[in-house]
Amino acid sequence: MTGQPSGTDRRSVHPLSLFLDDEGGYTTVALALALLLSITLVFFAGRIQWSLSRAAEVQEVADACSMAGSNVVSRYATCAQVCDALILSMGLAGLVTCGAALVLSAVPGAGPLAAETLEKGTSILEARSDFAQSAVRGLSALERLVPTLVMLNSIATVEANEEEGLSYAGIAVPIPLEGCSDFSGLETEIDTGALERKAREMQEASERIEDARARANDALMRGWMADCGQRPRCMRERARTLAHLTDRQNPDYASFESWTFGAALVRARTYYPVRRNLDVPENGTVEALVDSCARKAFYDYAIEQLSMAFYTERADGGVDMQLPELPHNTTEARSTSLYTEVRWPCTAEDGRMLHATLSCPGASGPADGFASLAQLDAGDVSRCEICQMDIVDMGRVAAASTSIDNGFEHYWREVVRASRDYEQARNEGALAEAQIKGTAQEGTDLFGEALDRLSVPRPHIVPPGAWGCVALVVRMDAEEVPASLGRAFLDAAELPPGAALSAAMLAPDESQEGNSVLAHLFDGLSTRNPALFGVLGEAGRLWGRLIESYGSSYGRLAQSSADFLAQVDGVFGGSVGAWVHDTVEELVRGAGLEPSDIRMLKPVLVSSAEVFEGAGLGGIARAQQLILALGQPPDIASIVRALGVDVPGGLGEAAIAIAELPIPGTDLAIPLEVDLSELAGAP
């Protein structure tokens, strides 16, 4: 035996020998098959990727469609916010201007400016009323058009997204379909009739105060001039010359503002006792002796009268004073105690005889008491033929120092007469001050009530689409897969029609300055209409500042109002005007008016379920119901039927005037219009 296998032995055949050789490597058939499968899979994956990408485009169009619908709602909301802010700012600007008029009405001498300011304030409020009425009508009309505009704009957006080989049909519908905005607060009337009447009453009282103040100052000036301001002679100069009073006894006052009638009273009280003690006969004649006695009697009378005089300034601004007017002739002397006072000595001479003094040469008999000059005229006593003392002598003494400017009494008489005018003017002014305080209280109460009327709740803006806009878009036709994607390896295929659902709602854009729209609006108004500032002046600028201050807090509004009130001139601490100013400012700061929310609203994509749930329509279930209702094949008509609305035709007009903004104090009005063709997506 050789041990070798017989010829009939054969090797067994491996089942993968077609793909693997004897050495375990891949055969040519295996490599060709692997390459074929790889190419097929690559083309298949590319076809899937193309189909998915192409199919997803309908969702992008649906998103654009819902955003286009919400853009319309955003524009409407902006219009409503702007109108609300304009109305509230006009109301506040008008009332603050009327408040400034109240302050000015309480400032003496500011009556004409107060009347002008009041007219500006009321004109702003009247313009507010007219604007509010037109704005409510315009916003209501525009709100009714919002569903139409939403759908037209969304349809135009869908059409604009059609590409070669793809056609879409779709529509966005606002939810809710009907708006329920409440603008009743905008039409709240602010009746300023009673406030105007009180302001006019205050102006009349202020005029009386101003007149009284002018008369008081004139009288004070005249009194000061007579006492110490007149050169070369005045009471002070006469007191220094005739009674030799020192500067301490006889002070000077540099201006009438630092002087009072009380100062003249003190000077006179100091002067007469000194002058009486210094008085002596000018010579040894009987006439000089009689004149000296008469002067002393006159000085004693003045001292007595001045002791009863008074000067008091009251807390209410009035004065109480009584400065005696000394007689300056015989007739006036007869009406005083100089005539009736029993002070003249008598002697027994064939009856009782009256003398100027017992030093009279004619007084030879024994002393017989005293008598008055009235008794002399009545014949109760006889007249001394030597001294001839009688009432004429008293009149002559008074006239000598009063009728010409070298006598102290001449200037005292001017002081007394000025004091009477001063007292009357001051007391009339005090009475007018009391009246204006009461009227001011009533006026500020009315101002507070007007602010309360302005403090109504802000409008509740709920337009169609307030909860969002839901868009349904269908891709209308099937599309064949491009031959370049493996037609040699794969059977021909096509992308069937499809549909997509999208939703968008509005959200505040915190990155934007909320007042930018209003600020730019007012800048545009004032640039195009210079009359806005020309007529209103600072009141118009106040309105502009209030508009620019609108935001999420009331503090800036109140500060702008306070800054405006601070510009009122002539308000002094402790005055009625200062009280009105502080009260009005406090009322404005305390009003806490709810400002308009003018943050910009921008559309954002959200889940359609969120929109439906917000509207109480069932969330995901509602969305599924709508999709199932599309039918086969899907088309725009089925979408419309599923939503229960009609596709609108046309609008009939290119623009709508929301409101007319009157320029206060003029016959001009600025129309605020919305371009409907733009909102409807017209090219």
Report the C-alpha gap between 584 and 558 in whole angstroms. Answer: 11
Cα of 66 vs its chain's centroid, Å: 42
Instruction: Tell me which of 25-29, 154-158, 231-235, 635-639 is least confident.
Output: 635-639
At residue 549, the pLDDT reads 59
Burial of residue 532 (CB within 10 Å: 0-12, 13-18, 19+) is buried
At residue 191, the pLDDT reads 78
Report the C-alpha gap between 112 and 90 in whole angstroms. Answer: 24
The pLDDT confidence band at residue 119, using thresholds 50, 70 and 90, is confident
Q: Spell out the residues 6+ positions from residue 371 whose beta carbon is closer than 8 angstroms to its own.
A: 342, 344, 346, 352, 354, 380, 381
- Is pLDDT above 80 for 674? no
Closest CA relative to residue 83, chosen from 142, 164, 24:
142
Neighbours of 257 (CB within 10 A): 11
State percent of the chain over pLDDT 70. 69
At residue 480, the pLDDT reads 52
Report the C-alpha gap between 426 and 415 in whole angstroms. Answer: 16
Instruction: Tell me which of 101-115, 348-362, 612-626 is least confident.
Output: 612-626
Closest CA relative to residue 468, chosen from 627, 617, 680:
617
Pairing mode, if any, of strands 655-662 and 669-675? antiparallel
pLDDT tens-digit readout, 65-102: 889 888 888 888 888 888 887 887 788 878 888 888 88
Burial of residue 242 (CB within 10 Å: 0-12, 13-18, 19+) is middle
Classified as helix, coil or strand, 175 is: strand
Cα of 318 vs its chain's centroid, Å: 35
At residue 592, the pLDDT reads 59
Instruction: Tell me which of 264-268, 503-507, 559-563, 658-662 is least confident.
Output: 559-563
Closest CA relative to residue 474, chosen from 168, 21, 112:
168
Neighbours of 635 (CB within 10 A): 16
Cβ atoms of 532 and 663 closer than 8 Å: yes
Region 510-520: mean pLDDT is 54
pTM of the model as a whole: 0.67
Report the C-alpha gap between 170 and 464 in whole angstroms. Answer: 19
Q: Give strand pairing partners of 320.
A: 312
At residue 302, the pLDDT reads 96
For every residue of 207-227, which 3-state class applies, written as one string? HHHHHHHHHHHHHHHHHHHHH
- Is pLDDT above 70 for 648? no
Cα of 553 vs its chain's centroid, Å: 15
pLDDT tens-digit readout, 3-27: 444 444 445 555 656 656 666 666 6
Cβ atoms of 342 and 373 closer than 8 Å: no
- Is pLDDT above 70 for 594? no
Cβ atoms of 170 and 636 closer than 8 Å: yes
At residue 626, the pLDDT reads 53
Report the C-alpha gap between 670 and 544 in whole angstroms. Answer: 16
At residue 671, the pLDDT reads 76
Closest CA relative to residue 517, chosen from 47, 86, 51:
86
The pLDDT confidence band at residue 178, using thresholds 50, 70 and 90, is confident
Q: Spell out the residues 6+ positions from residue 328 whose beta carbon is closer than 8 angstroms to its own.
A: 398, 399, 402, 403, 409, 413
Pick the more confident residue, 495 or 72.
72
- Is pLDDT above 90 for 361? yes
Cβ atoms of 209 and 432 closer than 8 Å: yes
Within 13 Å and on the Cβ side, how many CA atoms surround 454?
32
* DSSP-assigned letters across all residues of 360-378: STT--S-EEEEE-HHHHHH
At residue 369, the pLDDT reads 95
Task: Please provide residue 305's backbone torsions phi and psi, each rounded to the nearest 5 degrees.
Answer: -65, -40
Cβ atoms of 531 and 505 closer than 8 Å: no
The pLDDT confidence band at residue 530, using thresholds 50, 70 and 90, is low
Report the C-alpha gap between 149 and 469 in whole angstroms. Answer: 12
Instruction: Tell me which of 41-50, 198-207, 358-367, 406-415 is least confident.
Output: 41-50
Q: What is the per-residue burial (b if ≥16 Cβ within 10 Å, else e) of 218-231?
A: ebbbbbbbbbbbbe
- Is pLDDT above 60 for 273? yes
Given the structure tokens 């790889």, which residue do they identify? 38
Cβ atoms of 450 and 593 closer than 8 Å: no
Neighbours of 356 (CB within 10 A): 27
Pick the more confident residue, 437 or 558.
437
| R_g over Cα of the chain | 52
Region 415-432: mean pLDDT is 95
The pLDDT confidence band at residue 492, using thresholds 50, 70 and 90, is very low
pLDDT tens-digit readout, 292-302: 999 999 999 99
Report the C-alpha gap between 655 and 671 in whole angstroms. Answer: 11
Instruction: Tell me which of 49-58, 297-306, 540-549 is least confident.
Output: 49-58
At residue 545, the pLDDT reads 63
Neighbours of 249 (CB within 10 A): 15
* Amino acid, single-letter form, for residue 405: D
Pairing mode, if any, of strands 352-354 and 382-383? parallel
* Backbone conformation region of residue 497, classed left if phi is above 0, alpha if psi is from -120 to 50, else beta: beta
Report the C-alpha gap between 155 and 485 in whole angstroms. Answer: 33
- Is pLDDT above 50 for 1? no
pLDDT tens-digit readout, 542-591: 666 666 555 544 455 566 666 666 666 555 545 677 777 777 777 776 66
Cα of 133 vs its chain's centroid, Å: 22
Report the C-alpha gap between 600 and 517 in whole angstroms. Answer: 8
Quote the mean pLDDT of the chain.
77
For every residue of 641-679, which 3-state class applies, written as one string? HHHCCCCCCCCCCCEEEEEEEECCCCCCEEEEEEEHHHH
Report the C-alpha gap between 605 and 501 in whole angstroms. Answer: 11
Rounded to 10 deg, the angle between the 538-549 and 111-160 helix axes is 40
pLDDT tens-digit readout, 604-645: 888 777 777 765 555 445 555 555 554 444 455 555 555 554
Instruction: Tell me which of 77-86, 163-172, 268-277, 366-375 is least confident.
Output: 163-172
Instruction: Tell me which of 448-462, 502-516, 629-643 is least confident.
Output: 629-643
Closest CA relative to residue 75, chosen from 146, 141, 19:
146
Classified as helix, coil or strand, 433 is: helix
At residue 107, the pLDDT reads 80
* Backbone conformation region of residue 519, classed left if phi is above 0, alpha if psi is from -120 to 50, else beta: alpha
| Measured CA distances, 462 to 182, 244, 648 (Å) | 8, 92, 22
342 is written with which tokens?
A: 């029993």
At residue 249, the pLDDT reads 94
Contacts of 97-101 with CB under 8 Å at 24 or more apart are: 97/121, 97/124, 97/539, 97/542, 97/564, 98/122, 98/125, 98/192, 98/195, 98/196, 98/199, 98/447, 98/450, 99/447, 99/565, 99/584, 99/587, 99/588, 100/564, 100/565, 100/568, 100/584, 101/199
Cβ atoms of 474 and 499 closer than 8 Å: yes
The pLDDT confidence band at residue 526, using thresholds 50, 70 and 90, is low
Given the structure tokens 């005089």, which residue do they identify? 309
State percent of the chain over pLDDT 90. 28
Region 463-484: mean pLDDT is 70
